[in-house]
A and B are shown apart, each in its own frame.
Chain A
Amino acid sequence: MSHARTQKLTRIILKAATVVILLLLLLSEILFSSITLFFKSMITVIFTYPYGVIYNNLMFFLFGLRGKIGGLTLTILVAAVSLLLAFIAGIIFGLMRNSRRWWLSYPAIGYIELVRSVPLILVIFWFCFFPPGLSETLKSVGRVYYGIFALIAFTGAYIAEIVRAGILSVSKGQMEASRSSGLTHTQAMIYIILPQALKNMIPSLVNQFVSLIKDTSLLWFVGVMEFTSTIFATSNREVNTTVTMGLYFFAAVVYFLVCYPLTASSRKLEKKLGVGER
Chain B
Amino acid sequence: MIKKARELKVEASILINRYRFIFYPLYFLAIALFIYFVVYKILLVNVLNIEFNYKLNYAIFFTNYIEATRQSYVDLYVLGVITTIKISIISLVVAMSLGTVLAIFRLSNVKVLDIFAKSYIEFIRNTPLLIQIFFWYFGTDPLLPKVFTTWLKAQSNVEFAYGVIALSIYTSAFIAEEIRAGIQSIPKEQMEASRAQGFSFLQAMRLVILPQAIRIVIPPLISQSLNLTKYSSLVMSIGVVELMASSRFLFGGTARIFEALSVTTIIYLSLSLAISFALNQYNKYFLSYTRY
A interface vs B, CB < 8 Å?
34, 37-38, 41-42, 45, 102-103, 114, 116-122, 125-126, 129-130, 133-135, 137-138, 210, 214-215, 217-218, 220-221, 228, 231-232, 235, 241-242, 244-249, 251-252, 255-256, 259-260, 263
Contacts and interface: CB of A to CB of B under 8 A. Distances in A.
Given A118-B230, A119-B231, A260-B122, A38 B131 contact: no
Nearest to B142: A242
Contacts of A263: 122, 125-126
A134 B127 contact: no
Contacts of A34: 145
Contacts of A242: 142
Given A117-B273, A119-B268, A235-B138, 9 more contacts: A38-B144, A41-B142, A117-B269, A133-B257, A134-B50, A135-B52, A214-B127, A217-B131, A228-B130
A119 B139 CA distance: 26
Contacts of B251: 129
| Contact-residue size bin, chain B (C-beta under 8 Å from the other chain) | 35 or more
Nearest to A214: B128
A248 B139 CA distance: 7
Nearest to B236: A121
30 contacts: A34-B145, A38-B143, A42-B143, A117-B230, A117-B268, A119-B233, A120-B230, A121-B233, A121-B234, A121-B236, A125-B248, A126-B261, A130-B257, A133-B255, A134-B52, A137-B50, A214-B126, A214-B129, A220-B130, A228-B130, A228-B134, A231-B134, A235-B138, A245-B141, A245-B143, A247-B139, A248-B135, A255-B131, A259-B127, A263-B125
A163 to B, nearest CB: 19
Given A117-B272, A119-B244, A217 B130 contact: yes
Interface in B41-65: 48-52, 54
B244 A255 contact: no
A133 B292 CA distance: 54
Nearest to A118: B268
A245 B139 contact: yes
